[in-house]
């Protein structure tokens, strides 16, 4: 995959949120900004344009001039601190942005001689703050706009995107969902607690909190917990999964294969235990 730098725009007045610190608002126990930073963790460099704050990983900080000058001014400030040939540009309020969308955008931007690729939402609207741009044409157009208007402050993003040849990527239905209002925040918080997503969201949040980079075989661990609970006793489920994690950490660096191997052994033991209880 083509190397890239990331620029995350985390300023703005958040007027529809009553002036709240939007990037710090939490969805699923994680700040919106941290959720976005997790989606672009493999960026060669990450520049966040906005006020400094604690983040889940190290970033370079920048501020637009003047502060509150809008997205084009913020983008201009971020671009100055990047060196990669392709730049991923994101807003800091995308709770459901995933690595898969980032990869789709990078792949689309690398195809042919286009100036980049941006996400298109379900209503067919362009999302220029969920996009990958080739650095050279992006810098050129920013410089031309600044020369024509005197500065980038207050200019709409469409002035930039209308001048660039961009591919359109129809990502997942929530990839470009952003949080502009308290209703949006409430909807995002409710959605991650839905039955089909809550476990993945929770595991991702725990891995982030603990600084763990590991693909967890959720089904394997859930099956183990079920066997331990039914074949031994209900409290055996959490204790057994804890011991599996401890054993995996001691074995060969504690990778996903070590977790799966320890889980298989513990599950077999739980089944043997249950068989004994059922045998006269």
**Strands 26-27 and 30-31, bridge-based pairing:** antiparallel
Cα torsion angle, 144, 147, 153, 158, sign: negative
Half-sphere exposure of residue 25, counting CA atoms within 13 Å on the CB side?
Answer: 24
Q: Say if residue 195's pLDDT is above 80.
A: no
Q: pLDDT (tens digit, 9 = 90+) per residue, 98-152?
A: 999 999 999 999 887 899 999 998 888 999 999 999 999 999 999 999 999 999 9
Q: Say if residue 94's pLDDT is above 70.
A: yes
- Looking at residue 33, its pLDDT comes to 96
Q: pLDDT (tens digit, 9 = 90+) per residue, 36-60?
A: 999 999 999 999 999 999 998 899 9
Q: Say if residue 97's pLDDT is above 90.
A: yes
- Looking at residue 280, its pLDDT comes to 60
Q: How far apart are CA 176 and CA 86, in angstroms?
A: 20
**Strands 86-91 and 126-134, bridge-based pairing:** antiparallel
| 2-16, 29-43, 176-190, 198-212, range with the lowest pLDDT | 198-212
Q: What's the mean pLDDT when you consider all of the chain?
A: 89
Q: Work out the pLDDT band at 182, boundaries 50, 70, 90.
A: very high
Q: How far apart are CA 6 and CA 29, in angstroms?
A: 23
- Looking at residue 22, its pLDDT comes to 92
- Looking at residue 151, its pLDDT comes to 94
Residue range 74-88: mean pLDDT, rounded: 96
∠ CA 4-87-138, rounded to 5°: 145
**Of residues 260 and 208, which shows the higher confidence score?**
260
Residue range 46-75: mean pLDDT, rounded: 93
pTM: predicted TM-score of the whole model, two decimal places: 0.82
Q: pLDDT (tens digit, 9 = 90+) per residue, 229-278?
A: 888 888 888 989 888 888 888 876 667 788 888 888 888 888 888 887 66
């Amino acid at each position: 995959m083509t190397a890239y730098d990331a620029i995350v725009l985390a300023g703005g007045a958040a007027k529809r949120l009553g002036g709240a610190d939007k990037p710090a608002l939490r969805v699923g126990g994680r700040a919106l900004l941290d959720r976005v930073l997790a989606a672009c963790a493999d960026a060669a460099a990450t520049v966040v344009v906005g006020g400094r704050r604690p983040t889940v990983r190290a970033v370079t900080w920048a501020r637009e001039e003047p502060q509150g000058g809008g997205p084009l001014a913020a983008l201009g400030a971020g671009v100055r601190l990047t060196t990669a040939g392709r730049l991923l540009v994101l807003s800091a309020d995308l709770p459901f942005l995933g690595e898969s969308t980032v990869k789709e955008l990078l792949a689309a931007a690398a195809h042919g001689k286009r100036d980049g690729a941006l996400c298109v939402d379900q209503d067919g609207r362009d999302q220029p703050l969920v996009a990958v741009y080739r650095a050279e044409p992006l810098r050129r157009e920013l410089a031309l706009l600044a020369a024509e208007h005197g500065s980038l402050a207050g200019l709409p993003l469409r002035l930039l995107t209308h001048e660039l040849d961009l591919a359109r990527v129809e990502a997942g239905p929530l990839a470009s969902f952003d949080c502009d209002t308290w209703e949006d925040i409430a909807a995002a918080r409710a959605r991650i607690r839905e039955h089909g997503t809550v476990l993945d969201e929770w595991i991702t949040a725990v891995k982030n909190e603990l600084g763990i980079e590991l693909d967890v075989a959720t089904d394997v661990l859930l099956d183990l917990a079920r066997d331990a609970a039914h074949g031994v006793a209900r409290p055996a489920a959490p204790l057994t999964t804890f011991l599996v994690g401890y054993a995996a950490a001691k074995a060969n660096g504690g990778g996903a294969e070590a977790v799966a191997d320890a889980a298989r052994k513990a599950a077999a033991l739980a089944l043997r235990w249950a068989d004994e209880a059922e045998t006269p």
